[in-house]
Copies of this chain bind each other. A is one copy, B any other.
Amino acid sequence: ADIQAGKSKAVTCNACHGNNGISMLPMYPNLAGQKEQYLILQLKAFRDGERKNMLMSPMSTGLSDTDIANLSAYYASLDPAGK
């Protein structure tokens, strides 16, 4: 996976999940340092309609498997404490 490509793609995600992967609002999860494989599974679940959320369902619709791999690698690479 390409962490730099993930970082570029994450601009949209960062609006809620934070520039450092620590989310802006209490109902949104932190993603920094999260397990890469878990992130891949959840993004695919949102995209494919297995997991439903008013924000994440539409946000994930256009993502390719490569986008998902890159985004997941990027967030997994961030410091879990947000530093």
Contacts and interface: CB of A to CB of B under 8 A. Distances in A.
Number of copies: 2
Nearest to A80: B80
Interface residues of A, number: 21
Top 10 A-B residue pairs of the complex, sorted by shortest distance between their CB atoms: A26-B37, A80-B80, A29-B38, A27-B37, A80-B81, A26-B35, A81-B81, A27-B38, A30-B34, A27-B41
Interface of A: 23, 26-30, 32-38, 41, 50-52, 79-82
Given A80-B80, A81-B80, A33 B30 contact: yes
B28 A35 contact: yes
A41 B29 CA distance: 10
